[in-house]
Amino acid sequence: MSEVRIPSQSAQTTKLLLESKRPEISEIELTLFENCNIVCDFCFHDKKSQVGLSKEEMFSKIPIMDEFLSRQQNRVKIAQINVVGGELFQDRWMERLNQDYYELLIETKKSFDKYNLKMKVVFVSNFLFKKKESVKELIDKLRDYGIDTHLIVSYDFEGRPLSKSYWDNVTYFGPEYICSVNLVGTSGSIKKFIENKDNNFKYFYKNFNIFFDDFIPDNGSDDLIPSDREFSQWYKYIADNFPLIQPVADLINNQNNSMHCLSLNKVTIFPDNKTSNCRWHRYKQTDFNTKLNLKDNSGMMQNFIDEMGCLQCEYFSRCGFRCFTQWDWKNRKRDMEICPMKSFFNHIEGKQD
Ligand SMILES: C[S@@+](CC[C@H](N)C(=O)[O-])C[C@H]1O[C@@H](n2cnc3c(N)ncnc32)[C@H](O)[C@@H]1O
Ligand code: SF4
Ligand code: SF4
């Protein structure tokens, strides 16, 4: 069996080292349930699961959020709740669920007020629903209540079914309601993106904010993980062709950036009320090089900065690093000598690797 890497310094030391890179907002990844009405190739949720769908289960997450928020006061000004499923907006349950989301968030606002934090809410959806008026009403009601509320629509170059309702909804909600269009950087999707033949994407790029996220691996997904070379080409291609795409735009434009990974300021709440810093409970030690700690990602971060040599790197202030979970995944292709992010920065600075 290959060796598990145990970080040389304590998690506390790593956190101190990375303090300057800590994101300025906190995040609750509120995974209410995994149930979904479709299947995307790169998503590992249990689409049939009913766990977390009841109002009681949703409300049982309030004390967990309160505890997390109590630790964020005086640390950040804004905390964002990413409400996700599975799919939140399924026509078959729309009325009941939307009412539950509303009551849940109104109740949660009390914690934000108690700890003097500004509340931001984002619902992430596949946008395949037909009952769009009900979704709009939910957002309008939350906004009327003083909660800054938006939608994220997911789009992908492959592996995600779309329908006519999807496009109807995109036009209906527009940038006033949709704060971002999010894509996932699988190996296949990056290849399609670089082929640059997708007119839907060009429409999104012209009209919306775009966030191209790192693929989070799971059991059996090794082929979907971009190699280091693909990763680096992906970022370079964005810089050369679509420089407004986040998080790359910030790397191009700012000399100082926080790390993209929010896990220092984040709690992920799962449907069964388990929590983690980011990673799934079903992950196994054999999936990773670093010793697995579901409550704290800093060991993995430390191995990353040690191995890449980040503390000696000229781009340390500017760099957002990358998804540490993907980086640490044992079975992914490591095919570059140099750090892929460093190669990207060299590219935008017109330097040779
Ligand atoms: C799990 S989905 C739930 C919300 C909704 N059903 C949707 O598809 O937008 C939340 C977001 O995670 C993305 N996602 C799914 N599987 C992923 C993975 N393995 N790595 C990174 N993001 C992933 C989806 O594309 C979506 O933008
Ligand atoms: S729509 Fe969302 S939850 Fe459903 S399979 Fe796709 S990514 Fe997963
Ligand atoms: S460019 Fe690479 S080595 Fe430099 S700080 Fe970023 S991740 Fe670390």
Domain ranges of the chain: 20-285
Average pLDDT, the chain: 94
CA distance 240 to 230: 15
- Of the listed ranges 46-60, 141-155, 296-310, the least confidently predicted one is 296-310
269 strand-pairing partners: 30, 275
The per-residue pLDDT for range 312-325, each reduced to its tens digit, is: 999 999 999 999 99
CA 346 to ligand 3 center in whole angstroms: 11
Indicate whether 207 pLDDT > 90. Answer: yes
Residue to substitute in 37, 42, 43 for testing ligand 2 pocket (most ligand atoms within 8 angstroms of CB): 43
* Class for the domain spanning 20-285: alpha beta
Which residues have C-beta atoms less than 6 Å from ligand 3?
A: 308-310, 313, 315-316, 319, 321, 339, 341-342, 345
Average of per-residue pLDDT across 299-307? 91
CA angle 176, 268, 177 (to 5 degrees): 5
Average of per-residue pLDDT across 237-254? 98
The per-residue pLDDT for range 165-191, each reduced to its tens digit, is: 999 999 999 999 999 999 999 999 999
Indicate whether 353 pLDDT > 50. Answer: yes
Coil vs helix vs strand at 182: strand
The per-residue pLDDT for range 151-164, each reduced to its tens digit, is: 999 999 999 999 99
CA distance 88 to 102: 12
CA 61 to ligand 2 center in whole angstroms: 22
Average of per-residue pLDDT across 310-339? 95
pLDDT classification of 8: cutoffs 50, 70, 90: low
Q: What is the pLDDT of residue 2?
A: 53
Average of per-residue pLDDT across 193-203? 95
Query: What is the tally of helices (H) and strands (E) in the chain?
Result: 13, 8
Q: What is the pLDDT of residue 10?
A: 61
Q: Yes or no: say if 55 and 100 are a contact pair by the CB < 8 Å rule.
A: yes
| Residue closest to 98 by CA, chosen among 79, 82, 81, 83 | 83
Indicate whether 334 pLDDT > 70. Answer: yes
Please, which residues have CB within 8 angstroms of residue 169's CB and are 6 or more apart in sequence?
127, 129, 132, 135, 153
CA angle 235, 284, 80 (to 5 degrees): 55
Counting from 1 in the atom list of ligand 2, the atom nearest the Cα of 45 is 8
Indicate whether 267 pLDDT > 50. Answer: yes
Q: What is the pLDDT of residue 298?
A: 83
Q: What is the pLDDT of residue 116?
A: 96
Cβ of residue 87 lying under 6 Å from some atom of ligand 2? yes
CA 165 to ligand 3 center in whole angstroms: 42
Q: Yes or no: say if 152 and 178 are a contact pair by the CB < 8 Å rule.
A: yes
Q: What is the pLDDT of residue 168?
A: 98
- What is the reported pTM? 0.94
CA 275 to ligand 2 center in whole angstroms: 20
Q: What is the pLDDT of residue 1?
A: 44
| Residue closest to 42 by CA, chosen among 279, 220, 269 | 220
Q: Of 11-25, 196-210, 267-281, where does the model show the most confidence?
A: 196-210
CA distance 213 to 185: 6
Is the pLDDT higher at 17 or at 225? 225
Indicate whether 67 pLDDT > 70. Answer: yes
CA distance 206 to 312: 38
Indicate whether 71 pLDDT > 60. Answer: yes
Coil vs helix vs strand at 212: strand
CA distance 154 to 123: 11
CA distance 270 to 109: 20
Q: What is the pLDDT of residue 25?
A: 87
Cβ of residue 40 lying under 6 Å from some atom of ligand 2? yes
Please, which residues have CB within 8 angstroms of residue 3's CB and are 6 or more apart in sequence?
none
116: left (phi over 0), alpha (psi -120 to 50) or beta: left
The per-residue pLDDT for range 25-65, each reduced to its tens digit, is: 899 999 999 999 999 999 999 999 999 999 999 999 999 99
pLDDT classification of 9: cutoffs 50, 70, 90: low
